Amino acid sequence: MQTLSQSPTDPAFVQDPYPFYERARTAGPFFRWAEYDRISSGNFAACNAIFRDRRFGREVPADKRSPVPDHLKPFYAVEAHSMLELEPPRHTRLRSLVLRAFTSRRIAALQPEIAQLTHDLIDALPEGEFDLLRQFGQRLPVIVIARLLGVPENMADDLLGWSNAMVGMYMAGRDRAREDAAVAATEAFVAFMRSYVDARRGTPRDDLISALIAAEQEGEKLTTDELITTCILLLNAGHEATVHSLGNGVKRLLETATPPTALRPDSVEATVEEILRHDPPLHIFTRWAYEDVEVMGTLIPKGTEVQLLLAAANRDPGQWDAPDQFLPGRPVKPNLSFGMGLHFCVGAPLARLELQTALPILFDRLPRLRMTAPPSYGNVYHFHGLTRLMVRAD
C-alpha cells in the first residue's frame, strides 16, 4: 500500500482537492494518507462496499476510546446520543423512531412551502451586486429546518451560528478556539431546544418536535436528551450539506453556462444528482473495522479507522464516463454524497427536495444571473463549500 502526503490544511488543496484525489486513486483501491496516518480510499467500489459492510461501523471500539478532555465534555455528551455515531441495536432503535416522525409524506408536503420561500427570498434580494450565498443559499435551508422543527424563524441566525460553530469540530486542523466555540454553541443550542421540547410535551403542535415526542415503537420512546440531539443533528447535518450544495451547484451551473432546459421538471432530478456527485458538500467520512476484513484484495486490520473519500469516489472513472466533467444530462447512478447502507443520511430526501425546488425557480426568476467575482471555497476540510458567491441579476 502506497503512502501519500498531502496537507489537508494547504490552501491550494482546500480550493481544489481533486488533483490529489486523482493521484491517490492511481495508487490503487487503498492508500495511506500520511498526515492522517490512516488507510484511505477514493475508489467507488471499495467505499461502497465498506459503507454496506456491517463489519465496519461508526462507533469507536472500546479499546480505541480516549478520555474526553474536560473542556469538550458538553459537546460529546450530545454526540453520545447521535444516531450518526452509534451502531445497532441503539442505532436501529433511534433511527426507526426518527423515521416515524421524519416521514417521506411530511417531507413531500414541504414542497409548496419551499417554493414560496424561494420566491420570497428572491423578492427580497438587493439590486446590483450581492452575495447569493448569504442572501439566499444560507437562508433557505435554515428557515426550512426552523419551520420543520416548529421553532421561530427569527431564531434562524442563532441556529445558523450554532450549526457553523458545532461542525467546526469535524474540520482538519481544529484548534482550542474552534473547540471552545463549538462547546459554547452546543450549550446554547441544548438549552434552547430543551425549552421547546418541554413546551411541546405539554402542548403538542403540528411540527417535527411534537412528532418526535409522539414517536413510539414497541413501548420505546425517545428520551429528552436523544430528542434534543436528533434535532441538532437534523439541523447541523442537513443544513450544512444543503447550503454547500446550493452554493456549489449555482457556481457550477453559471460557470458551465448550463442551459435552462437542465432545470425543467423532467430533467431537474438528474441535474441535482450531477451537482451532488460532481462537487459534494462533505469529502470524508470514516468507518472503524470491527474485525479483520479483506476489501478488494486489501486486508483492513481490526481496530483500523478507514477514511472514505466521498468526493474522490464520486469521480471514479470505473463508475462514470468523463467523471471530471459536469454533465447534467448523464444517466443517474448512485453517488456517495449522502453515504450508503445503515447510516445513509435521513435528511437526504429533504436536501434533494430543496435543491430540486429552489434551483429551477432561482434561474427562472433571475435568467441573467452571473458571477461578478471569482468564488472561493472556505478554508476548511472535510467540508467543501463556498464562503461567498458574488453575483448580479440585472
Give the pLDDT confidence of 52-92 residue by residue, as tens digits.
999 999 999 999 999 999 999 999 999 999 998 999 999 99
pTM for this structure?
0.93
Cα(first)–Cα(last) distance of the chain, in Å? 54
Q: Which residue stretches of the chain have pLDDT < 70?
A: 238
Please give the single-letter amino acid code of residue 227.
L
What is the SS3 assignment for 277-319?
HHCCCECEEEEEECCCEEECCEEECCCCEEEEEHHHHCCCCCC
Predicted local confidence at residue 225, as pLDDT = 92
> What SS3 state is found at 380?
coil
320, three cell numbers: 462514470
Q: Containing domain of residue 304, as a range?
A: 3-392
Q: How far apart are CA 54 and CA 24, in angstroms?
A: 26
User: For residue 313, which phi and psi values (nearest 5 degrees)?
Assistant: -60, -30
Whether the upstream peptide bond of residue 126 has omega within 30° of 0, thus cis, is no
Q: How far apart are CA 325 and CA 375, in angstroms?
A: 19
Buried b (16+ CB within 10 A) or exposed e, 193-231: beebbeebeeeeeebbbbbbbebeeeeeebeeebbbbbb
When divided into structural domains, the chain yields a total of: 1
Predicted local confidence at residue 190, as pLDDT = 94
Predicted local confidence at residue 144, as pLDDT = 92
Predicted local confidence at residue 379, as pLDDT = 83
Q: How far apart are CA 173 and CA 381, in angstroms?
A: 8
Predicted local confidence at residue 319, as pLDDT = 96
Predicted local confidence at residue 62, as pLDDT = 92
Task: List pLDDT tens digits, range 201-245.
Answer: 889 998 989 999 998 777 788 899 999 999 888 888 767 889 999
Partners of 56 in beta bridges: 289
Kindly report the CATH number assigned to the domain that includes residue 90.
Answer: 1.10.630.10
E-strand ranges in 118-191 read: 130-131
User: For residue 317, which phi and psi values (nearest 5 degrees)?
Assistant: -65, -15
